[in-house]
Amino acid sequence: MQTAPPFSTRLALGLSAALLAVAAHAQEGSSIVIQGKDNWLFPGWGSLTQVDTRGIDASTQLVRETRDALAAKGIQLEVLVLPDKTLFYQDKLPDGKSLSADVKKRYQTIQDKLKQAGVATFDDEAVLQRVKDGGQDVFYRTDQHWTQAAADATAEALAQRINQDVKTLAGKPGTGMPLGSVVNERRYGDLAELFLTPDQRKQAGRETFTVRRQAENQSLLDDAPAPVHVTGHSMVQPYFGFPQKLSNVLDRPVSVNWKPGNVGHWIMLLEYLESPAFKQNKPQVLVWQMFEPTYAQGPDAKGLWDNASIMGADTWRSRMKAAIGK
């Protein structure tokens, strides 16, 4: 499998059909994966019962400071928090496991905190619930990632929010990415592939992944600077179609940086802010993608992020302000 480059990758230069690649060995009874009913699998790194309200507050403070620093440079921050898979498939959790009342409200708690801080965001839980109510899955059964239907709907909602917050988007109409044809791939999801034993994997079975191929004429967009940049983890990689759809709806180029593995959203933002791509072509809008189960975990979350990504909140804050201020 291929991985995306560490810094901004222009979508117009070609899409990577890569999946998240994490070095892991399947273990019997692994706590990394929750094996649910009907062979549904869930990531096991988010609590089903506890909500870290102090962590949510601390993370929101760092987000607020980032928003302020970017705003001083004329850059609009849009925070995209993706909801947990378990919210939409609670009936597929195994017997004896269920979400507490507080965890069921955790996503809305995060939304409320961001809005109270004056940070631009939107309710993606409601967006994905409408997709699911319409008869489409929003997450793959044996994978931690969202479906193309979920990614497309979120991109449309985010584009609407950007157009609401930024009255005149830089660039020329007609420079958005054309959408390529849709194909189906039959394979194991990453939770099954990486964390189940061979027997468990066989029982879980393969499933169909719907992905969008690269459009033939997207090379025409190579030279146009991107007014919108997306930074986040593997959910926003081109394989799942999110940045292409966002570019198409906004009708402007969109750039993206992401990495596989447990690097987390804190280091991904820093890597972009400290990169030549940011210094040479600052975006008009910066989309910072996060994930509900790990939102409360700060840049110092040992045991969650890889060692190279861990740093104290003060160190992260100083690097963020220095990078934006240059």
What are the pLDDT digits (tens) for 117-135?
A: 999 999 999 999 999 999 9
Mean per-residue pLDDT of the chain: 88
Residue 113 · residue 56 · CB < 8 Å: yes
CA angle 155–159–165, rounded 5-degree value: 145
- Record the tokens describing residue 27, joined without a space: 């273990």
- In whole angstroms, give the CA distance from residue 301 to residue 55: 10
pLDDT band for position 248 (50/70/90)? very high
- In whole angstroms, give the CA distance from residue 217 to residue 158: 25
Residue 70 · residue 306 · CB < 8 Å: no
Report the pLDDT value the prediction gives residue 223, as an integer from 0 to 100.
60
Nearest to 277 by CA among 229, 317, 234: 229
- Record the tokens describing residue 216, joined without a space: 């033939």
Strand partners, 35: 41
Indicate the pTM of the whole model.
0.89
In a domain, 3, yes or no: no
- In whole angstroms, give the CA distance from residue 263 to residue 275: 17
- 3-state SS, 11-32, equals HHHCCCCCCCCCCCCCCCCCCC
Residue 251 · residue 224 · CB < 8 Å: no
Report the pLDDT value the prediction gives residue 181, as an integer from 0 to 100.
87
Q: Which of 17-31, 216-230, 252-266 has the lowest mean pLDDT?
A: 17-31
In a domain, 75, yes or no: yes
Nearest to 18 by CA among 30, 31, 27, 9: 9
Strands, E, within 153-203: which ranges?
182-187
Domain range for residue 191?
9-325
Report the pLDDT value the prediction gives residue 135, as an integer from 0 to 100.
98
**Mean pLDDT within 187-209:** 96
**Mean pLDDT within 154-163:** 98
Report the pLDDT value the prediction gives residue 259, as an integer from 0 to 100.
83
Q: Give the length of the chain.
A: 326
- In whole angstroms, give the CA distance from residue 281 to residue 284: 9
In a domain, 135, yes or no: yes
81-125 confidence digits (pLDDT tens)? 999 999 999 999 999 999 999 999 999 999 999 999 999 999 999
In a domain, 194, yes or no: yes
Strands, E, within 194-306: which ranges?
207-212, 228-231, 254-257, 285-291
Higher pLDDT, 225 or 191: 191
Count of CB atoms within 10 A of residue 116's CB? 10
Residue 250 · residue 226 · CB < 8 Å: no
- Record the tokens describing residue 223, joined without a space: 């030279």
Number of domains comprising the chain: 1
**Mean pLDDT within 61-68:** 98
In a domain, 4, yes or no: no
**Mean pLDDT within 9-20:** 31
